Each structure stands twice: as structure tokens, then as C-alpha cells.
């Protein structure tokens, strides 16, 4: 187990290093921050002084070396736009995204496993048809369209829910509801397909012949062996949310890391961009290790 996890951790670390290098140099291609933050009538001397203060006059290689050194000391520098440590700005936004992702994926996982498993138990039945149709529609629905329609119907039309902000529980209903639909549809389809295979296996038929009840057959005997592809999809969807549900955060004015990253790129706030990507990448790195651990626990063959 530990050897397997070390190999996976090393592979993820290489990816993390390549990501840091790529993002640092690509972010420098977005333009000169002095042209954005200083007025158009600012003199060249003022622009030079601005770049000097923020270390932008140094060669790119020197800037990268300084960034790596600061990174090793968990120092991401200050946000040019907000005059605050970039780490604090990103951490504050990331906690909002993390809460949104955890709540959404918890609800999605529980609901999708139950619905997909029950649909697979009687393939072609009424419940299976409804579940399949609903999940296909959900997996195909674009987030931005669902979000806009949800605002028009529930906020503007009916006046039931607020359109933006995080002030109360009701502010979370629309973002979570919209983010719920697509991963729910995808995971239900995977659970259903995987469970159909598991329920047709010999050990399940033996359990039925012995008179084991329906619920243990589905959720004890079959589900464990059907979970490997399901965990993969759950991990992919969780990573997408941790990366920041950019469209949904923008539509609903949610102060998450996705919206912060887009704003910082447009504002050429390099330190915030790099800090956001680094913190998000580390979170996904940890999540991937947890998924690998789940693989190894569910299927001992993977450990070898």
C-alpha cells in the first residue's frame, strides 16, 4: 500500500512542478501590469518605479527563482490590486469554494449511488426509465443555461430565492442546486452501468439463491465491487468543483476561487493567480491521493 501511494504521490508531484513552471511563464504573457494599474497619462518614470517596487524589472528567470524560493517558504507575495497577502486573499476565497464543493458532492454522491443502484436492480422497469431519462437530461444540461433559467424562474419570477451573495442558507440553494444537476446525471449513469455488471455476477446470484434480502445484495455485495469506476467519476467532478465553478460563481456572485482567478487574470494580479493555482493544485493533489487510497482499499489487486 505505502509503495503504491509513494509512486502516485511522486507522479502527482512532477505534475505539480510542471504546472508551477507553466503557469508562471504563461501569466507573464498577459501584458504589463503597470499599464493596467497606472493612469494612461502616467509617465514612463512612474511606470518604471511601479515595476521596480513589484520586482517586474528583473529578468524573468530571476523573478521565477525568487518565486520558487518564496514558495518554499509559503510566501506568495502581496496582491497588487488588494494590497493584502495573496495567500490570505486566495485562502479566503478557496474556503467558500471548498464549502460549496463538499456540500454539493456529498449530496450528489449519496443521491446518485442510491438512484443508480435501484435503477440497476430492475433494468427496464419504470424507475429505471425515469432515472435514466433524468440523469441523461442532467448530464447534458449546460451549467450556464441552467443557472440563468434558475434565476429567471425562482428569483425573478417567483421571488423565492436571492440571486447572489452568501448571507443566509437561502443564498446557497441556487448555486448548489445548479451544480448538483450535471454531476448527478453523470454519476447515476456510471453507477447504473457498473451495478448492472456487478448484479449479474456469480457471487450475487449465489447470495440471491441463499435468500439474502434485496438491500444487502445491492448495498453490501454488489456496490463495493461496482465502486471503482464510480470513484473515478466522483473524483473528476470534485476536482472540477475545486478548480472553481467559474461560470456558476460568476452568475451567482459567489466569492469563490474560480471567480477570483478570472478576476485576477484580467487584473494581471500575478501573485494571486499563482497562489490560487498552487493552493488549488495542492488540494487536488491531496484529493487524488485519497482516491488512490480508496482504490487500494476496495480492490487489493491495485496495491500490487
Helical spans, DSSP H, in the chain: 2-27, 33-37, 44-53, 60-72, 86-121, 126-140, 143-150, 170-199, 202-209, 214-216, 223-242, 246-251, 257-266, 270-298
Q: Are 87 and 250 in contact (CB under 8 A)?
A: no
Cell representation of residue 214: 434485496
pLDDT of 155:
82
Write down the pTM of the prediction. Answer: 0.73
For residues 16 and 39, give the distance between their C-alpha atoms in angstroms, rounded to a whole number: 37
Q: Are 252 and 201 in contact (CB under 8 A)?
A: no
Strands (E), 140-228: none
Residue 200 is given by DSSP the state T
Show the domains of the chain with their CATH numbers. 86-303 (1.10.3720.10)
Cell representation of residue 199: 448484479
- Residue whose C-alpha cell reads 417567483 in the numeric block: 158
For residues 98 and 31, give the distance between their C-alpha atoms in angstroms, rounded to a whole number: 31
pLDDT of 30:
63
pLDDT of 277:
80
Cell representation of residue 209: 439463491
User: How confident is the prediction along the chain (304 residues), in pLDDT tens digits per residue?
Assistant: 566 666 767 777 787 788 778 877 776 666 666 666 666 666 767 777 777 776 677 777 777 887 788 777 777 777 777 778 888 888 888 888 888 888 888 898 889 888 888 888 777 788 888 888 888 888 888 877 888 888 888 888 887 888 777 777 888 888 888 888 888 888 888 888 888 877 777 776 776 676 767 667 666 667 777 777 788 788 878 877 776 567 787 788 788 887 888 888 777 777 788 788 888 878 888 877 777 777 767 666 655 5
Amino acid at each position: 500500500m505505502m509503495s503504491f501511494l509513494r509512486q502516485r504521490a511522486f507522479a502527482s508531484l512532477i505534475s505539480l512542478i510542471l504546472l508551477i513552471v507553466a503557469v508562471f511563464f504563461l501569466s507573464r504573457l498577459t501584458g504589463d501590469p503597470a499599464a493596467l494599474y497606472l493612469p494612461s497619462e502616467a509617465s514612463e518614470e512612474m511606470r518604471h518605479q511601479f515595476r521596480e517596487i513589484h520586482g517586474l524589472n528583473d529578468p524573468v528567470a530571476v523573478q521565477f527563482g525568487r518565486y520558487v524560493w518564496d514558495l518554499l517558504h509559503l510566501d506568495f507575495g502581496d496582491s497588487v490590486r488588494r494590497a493584502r497577502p495573496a495567500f490570505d486573499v486566495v485562502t479566503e476565497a478557496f474556503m467558500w469554494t471548498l464549502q460549496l464543493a463538499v456540500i454539493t458532492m456529498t449530496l450528489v454522491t449519496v443521491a446518485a449511488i442510491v438512484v443508480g443502484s435501484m435503477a440497476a436492480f430492475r433494468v427496464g422497469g419504470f424507475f429505471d426509465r425515469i432515472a435514466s431519462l433524468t440523469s441523461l437530461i442532467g448530464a447534458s444540461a449546460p451549467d450556464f443555461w441552467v443557472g440563468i433559467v434558475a434565476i429567471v424562474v425562482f428569483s425573478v419570477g417567483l421571488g423565492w430565492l436571492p440571486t447572489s451573495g452568501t448571507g443566509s442558507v437561502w443564498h446557497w440553494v441556487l448555486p448548489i442546486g445548479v451544480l448538483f444537476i450535471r454531476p448527478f446525471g453523470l454519476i447515476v449513469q456510471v453507477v447504473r452501468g457498473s451495478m448492472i455488471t456487478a448484479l449479474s455476477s456469480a457471487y450475487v446470484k449465489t447470495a440471491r439463491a441463499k435468500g439474502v434480502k434485496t438491500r444487502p445484495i445491492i448495498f453490501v455485495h454488489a456496490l463495493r465491487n461496482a465502486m471503482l469506476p464510480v470513484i473515478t467519476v466522483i473524483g473528476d467532478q470534485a476536482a472540477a468543483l475545486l478548480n472553481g465553478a467559474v461560470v456558476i460563481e460568476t452568475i451567482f456572485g459567489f466569492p469563490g476561487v474560480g471567480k477570483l482567478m478570472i478576476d485576477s487574470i484580467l487584473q494581471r494580479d500575478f501573485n494571486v493567480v499563482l497562489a490560487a493555482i498552487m493552493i488549488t493544485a495542492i488540494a487536488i493533489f491531496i484529493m487524488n491521493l485519497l482516491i488512490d487510497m480508496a482504490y487500494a482499499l476496495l480492490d487489493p489487486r491495485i496495491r500490487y
